[in-house]
């Protein structure tokens, strides 16, 4: 399962599990794994603002993985991954979701 498949599957996690994973990301995640996920995030973040828009995720799927993902699917991902409910997926949110 690649990181973007895990991003889609993240929606079913409980709040406790999300909090636990936030701690793991900040303290334990291997440098190589974090480096790889950071590279994917940066590839998606075309405007370099440190957060992913719906369009950036849709384009990122296509550019990076050759997969077309619908706006509906991306909105579903956002509803679960966007903890801050600000309409964007931040770096930490992305890392937590993709290691799930």
CATH number for 61 = 1.10.238.10
Predicted confidence (pLDDT) at residue 11 exceeds the cutoff of 70? no
Closest CA to 95 of 37, 16, 18: 37
pLDDT given for residue 92 in this prediction: 85
pLDDT in tens, 18-54: 666 666 666 656 777 778 888 999 999 999 999 999 9
Whole-number pLDDT of residue 21: 66
Cα–Cα distance between 27 and 45 in angstroms, integer? 24
The closest of 26, 56, 30, 54 to 43, measured between CA atoms, is 56
Q: What global pTM score does this model have?
A: 0.70
Domain that includes residue 66, residue range? 3-98
Number of domains in the chain: 1
Average pLDDT, the chain: 81
94, burial (CB in 10 Å: exposed 0-12, middle 13-18, buried 19+): buried
The pLDDT, as a whole number, for residue 34 is 77
CA dihedral of residues 92, 96, 99, 100 (deg, nearest 10): -170
Tens of pLDDT, residue by residue over 51-100, are 999 999 999 989 988 989 999 999 998 988 888 889 999 998 898 888 75
């Amino acid at each position: 399962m690649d990181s973007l498949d895990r991003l889609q599957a993240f929606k079913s996690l409980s709040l406790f599990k999300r909090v636990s994973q936030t701690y793991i990301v900040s303290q334990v995640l291997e440098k190589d794994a974090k480096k790889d996920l950071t590279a994917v995030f940066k590839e998606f973040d075309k405007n370099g603002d440190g957060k992913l828009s719906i369009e950036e995720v849709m384009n990122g799927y296509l550019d990076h993985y050759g997969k077309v993902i619908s706006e509906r699917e991306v909105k579903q991902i956002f509803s679960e991954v966007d903890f801050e409910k600000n309409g964007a997926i931040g770096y930490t949110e992305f890392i937590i979701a993709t290691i799930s």
